[in-house]
Chain A
Amino acid sequence: GAVVSQHPSWVICKSGTSVKIECRSLDFQATTMFWYRQFPKQSLMLMATSNEGSKATYEQGVEKDKFLINHASLTLSTLTVTSAHPEDSSFYICSARAGDRVPGELFFGEGSRLTVL
């Protein structure tokens, strides 16, 4: 199957700093990637849709100035958590759809756990 890789898988930062998480599609091109947030023992909440070469589409209630998304190439999307605070601590997961694969199937990254002190 298609492979999506996230980096870093685990990051700790101080309150007020910014953290960048990368999402790469390793063996396919992804014009669209999705960023999810998952709280402990809860479901995945879609944060935004990342579109290659254009602005991301954010879900209602997600601060676009807080969670900066950049999709500069067909294999890379980045999520930057700006001025992080402890309440931003969470598990962030990206996914992508391989255009030539089964329609509707999303391939997920392994997730990135952010802890803000």
Chain B
Amino acid sequence: AQRVTQPEKLLSVFKGAPVELKCNYSYSGSPELFWYVQYSRQRLQLLLRHISRESIKGFTADLNKGETSFHLKKPFAQEEDSAMYYCALSGLGNEKLTFGTGTRLTIIP
């Protein structure tokens, strides 16, 4: 079974401070991990995926198989980062995407 846990429903961070949104997963095979973001009044969109190992909008996430984690990080928060963030998982070759419960990030000016 696939399972994604985001322990924080709400997270508030001051502008300029570092941000870390936690994500832990459970999957018996080789996982593909993603972060999706939903800005106010917009649709859900892909932020980044672990395979590409890229930084998008200053965010990075490293897959830690030992800790089964895929935490999202950004060194300096910006006001425009305020949004709902969802961690998601699929198995290799499996199209089904399982979402975590999401974390609402609020950046305090």
Check if A111 sits within 8 Å of B101, measured CB to CB.
Answer: no
Select one of B45, B96, B101 contacting A46, CB under 8 A: B96
Give A44 to B4 CA distance when docked, in angstroms. 12
Q: B44: CB under 8 A from chain A? A: yes
B residues near A (Cβ < 8 Å) are 9, 32, 34, 43-46, 49, 51-52, 86, 90, 95-102
Chain A contacts of B9 at CB under 8 A? Answer: 41
| Dominant SS among interface residues on chain A | loop
**CB nearest to B102 among chain A residues:** A43
Which residues on A are within 8 Å of B, measured CB to CB? 1, 32, 34, 41-44, 46, 49, 93, 95, 97, 102, 104-106, 108-111
Judge whether B101 and A43 touch: CB under 8 Å: yes
**Contact residue among B49, B51, B96 (Cβ-Cβ distance under 8 Å from A49):** B96
A43 to B86, CA, bound (A): 8
21 contacts between A and B (CB under 8 A): A34-B96, A34-B97, A42-B101, A43-B86, A43-B100, A43-B101, A43-B102, A44-B44, A44-B99, A46-B97, A46-B98, A93-B43, A95-B97, A97-B95, A102-B46, A104-B32, A104-B49, A104-B51, A104-B90, A105-B34, A105-B46
